[in-house]
Structure 1
Amino acid sequence: NLVVEGEYSGSPLDLLRLTQHIEKEINLGPKLHNSPRALDIDLLWWGEETHFWPHLQIPHPRALKRNFVLSPMLYLRPDWYPPGSSLSILELSRLLPQSLKATMAIINLTPDSFSDGGSYIDKASLSQQLLKAVNSGVSFLDLGAESTRPNAHPLSSEEEWQRLLPALEILKTILPKKSCRPWISIDTYRPETLMRAAEWYLDLANDVSGLISPEYIKAVGDLSLPVIAMHNLGIPANPMLTLAKDTSIVPTLEKWFLLTLERATKAGIQAKNIYFDPGVGFGKTAHQSLEILQNVSKLSRLGAPLLIGHSRKSFLSLFFSSVSSGRDAETLGASLALLNKPIEILRVHNFEAHLKAQLVFEGIRQNE
């Protein structure tokens, strides 16, 4: 399902006739009895206007009750209040059953990441993985070229770029052939990397350092990008540096995000473009990371889209002792527990398993 925002020079009725013509052309041809149409186009809103005609009502009377409308709208106008509503798109979305989350596929272009470092060093395997991810139905591809594991060696800006470039070159050959593609996210805390990536593909910035750099904030603002701000106590992660054991996790995270939001918006980033990642495994003990997931619903009151990056993290060893690359089952278990929570994005390594599991979960839930 897609939501498209745009401008039209005619009237709503003119656009209705045009969309009906498009539907008719696309839906021609043989089809099974009672089978769904190949294309179904609805007019949802017309700015702040309301219209009532025999064959058209704007706003669409069921738009605010449909997850497949509100979920994609989150990435267009999360802070918009539709006509007649006292709640924003983000707030409305969280009122509905939320089994289907946006999936962000982790593409590590590093030789030294904990769980999958070195997996895509040769271009053939990288090309295969990128094509698989693009075709899978994930909402985001997150390209990361620098490991944030404990004691990781910091890269120079040029080293990071040389690791990113092959992936961007491959995507340049893949994405133009797609009528619908995932957003491309760059996992970097360097503003110069963002600016260079913007000349290729860049839809989202993922800042594990938490928007502490004025230069980074300026780059995000200049590029009009949405950005993920992650809570941390230092990059790369230091397992010896964590929040105090008696820390009240939720208030601490809320305070940090509100200060980050204030700093970023004063520098020119729109509030609607700032997503919050509470930083599972970064500056937290294993039990604190678990506590974040157990209390994630409380973070929704911040009014920001939430991303959870729990995939293969060491806190999962609280349940079973396993190496990082072997924690996919534990990760999926945590993800299933999060499906009915008010979060928007799951950032995971094994994206194929997550997509399949979510569809099965949703298929069963719909028939309850």
Structure 2
Amino acid sequence: MFNYGKKTYIMGILNVTPDSFSDGGDFSNIDIAVNHAKEMIKEGADIIDLGGESTRPGHNYVGAEEELRRITPVIKRLKEEINVPISVDTYKADVAKASLELGVEMINDVWGLRKDKNMANVIADYDAYVCIMHNQDGTEYDKDIMESIKKFLLESIEIGLNAGIKKEKIVLDPGIGFGKTFEQNLEVLKRLDELNELGYPILLGTSRKSVIGNVLNVEPKERVEGTIATTVLGIRDGVDIVRVHDIKENIRAAKMADAIYRR
């Protein structure tokens, strides 16, 4: 599915939620959601990341049944009508299992296989890809933040490998905007290259996030240029996948950065 090192892969965000921070309610209609996925693919998205529960700060918890009610009809339509891989953004094993049963290729777990003890086994059973993200409650760190992130990710990798997830199907995400203050997010972005020593592909998800809004003092949908800046700097530092809302703009920036850094 991925041939890392040759290009930067673009993951298009498709939220079918009423309360996501940037596009909540925009794509809750099935037809609109499917058409938006098709538009992102037309613009160059390599993979579609479908979310049925907002994970923004202060989000409302959604049970597995409701999450599946939101995403299942969209998955079914997408599997019939598009030809790129689908990722599902969930930390619930029941949601992951039902999604993988429908043919989804990847699970994007914002709790790094930690929130649901059955998640790693489910992913292994279906021989799926997984994105393991760093996350924590609160913003206190007992050591250097990058050392803490690496420790968390290594522990989650071990959980995955012990469950039978293949090493080549693991992707890591430093978790920008999760369990981190504004200054901590900037520090992680400045030091992204340190994650390369873990030996796994890196996914960067900064699109329209508050760290950009706090710098530029603009609303989420006005954060395209700030997102592009993090995309380019991320590619310079070895990022393999960028998860974004605005495909056309980011893919152009990524192609230019690839021409410079992936020669």
TM-score by length of structure 1 reads 0.67
Distance 1:337 1:170 in 2: 35
Q: Please say if residues 137 and 182 of structure 1, whose CA atoms lie closer than 8 Å, have aligned partners that are also in contact.
A: no
Distance 1:361 1:272 in 2: 25
The gaps in structure 2 that reach 5 residues or longer are: none
Q: Match of 2:147?
A: 251
Distance 2:73 2:41 in 1: 16
Q: Please say if residues 114 and 325 of structure 1, whose CA atoms lie closer than 8 Å, have aligned partners that are also in contact.
A: no
Q: Do the aligned partners of residues 362 and 208 (structure 1) sit closer, same or farther apart at CA in structure 2, a change above 3 Å counting?
A: closer
Identity of aligned residues (%): 32
Q: Match of 1:226?
A: 129
Q: Do the aligned partners of residues 165 and 287 (structure 1) sit closer, same or farther apart at CA in structure 2, a change above 3 Å counting?
A: same
Distance 2:34 2:87 in 1: 17
Q: Which AA in structure 2 matches 1:196?
A: A
1:179-218 equivalences under 5 Å are 181-212=83-114, 213-218=116-121
The gaps in structure 1 that reach 5 residues or longer are: 4-71, 75-92, 176-180, 235-240
Question: Which of 242, 247, 252 in structure 1 is aligned with 2:139?
Answer: 242
Distance 1:144 1:247 in 2: 32
Write out the 4+ residue segments of structure 1 that deviate beyond 4 Å after TM superposition: 360-363
Task: State the 1:156 CA deviation.
Answer: 1.4
Question: Which of 256, 261, 267 in structure 1 is aligned with 2:163?
Answer: 267
Question: Which of 9, 13, 38 in structure 2 is aligned with 1:131?
Answer: 38
Q: Match of 1:83?
A: none
Task: State the 1:357 CA deviation.
Answer: 2.5
1:136-161 superposed Cα distances (whole Å, 9 cap, x missing partner) = 32221000000011221111111001
1:116-137 superposed Cα distances (whole Å, 9 cap, x missing partner) = 1011122332232021123332
Question: Whose RCO is larger (CA < 8 A, sep 6+)?
Answer: 2
1:53-92 equivalences under 5 Å are 72-74=2-4
CA RMSD between the two structures: 2.1
Question: Which of 318, 325, 333 in structure 1 is aligned with 2:229?
Answer: 333
- Aligned length in residues: 261
Q: Does 1:304 align with 2:217?
A: no
Q: Any idea what SS the aligned residue of 1:319 has?
A: helix
Distance 2:258 2:173 in 1: 24
Distance 1:303 1:139 in 2: 22
Q: Please say if residues 204 and 234 of structure 2, whose CA atoms lie closer than 8 Å, have aligned partners that are also in contact.
A: no
Q: Match of 2:69?
A: 162
Q: Please say if residues 101 and 339 of structure 1, whose CA atoms lie closer than 8 Å, have aligned partners that are also in contact.
A: yes
Q: Please say if residues 231 and 253 of structure 2, whose CA atoms lie closer than 8 Å, have aligned partners that are also in contact.
A: no
Distance 1:166 1:305 in 2: 31
Q: Match of 2:175?
A: 279
Return the structure number with greater helix share.
2
Q: Any idea what SS the aligned residue of 2:101 has?
A: coil
Q: Please say if residues 243 and 285 of structure 1, whose CA atoms lie closer than 8 Å, have aligned partners that are also in contact.
A: no
Question: Which of 98, 106, 116 in structure 1 is aligned with 2:13?
Answer: 106
Q: Does 1:144 align with 2:44?
A: no
Task: State the 1:287 CA deviation.
Answer: 1.1
Q: Do the aligned partners of residues 359 and 115 (structure 1) sit closer, same or farther apart at CA in structure 2, a change above 3 Å counting?
A: same
Q: Any idea what SS the aligned residue of 1:250 has?
A: helix
Distance 1:119 1:101 in 2: 27
Distance 2:35 2:168 in 1: 34
- Structure ID, larger Rg: 1
Q: Do the aligned partners of residues 150 and 224 (structure 1) sit closer, same or farther apart at CA in structure 2, a change above 3 Å counting?
A: same
Q: Which AA in structure 2 matches 1:314?
A: S
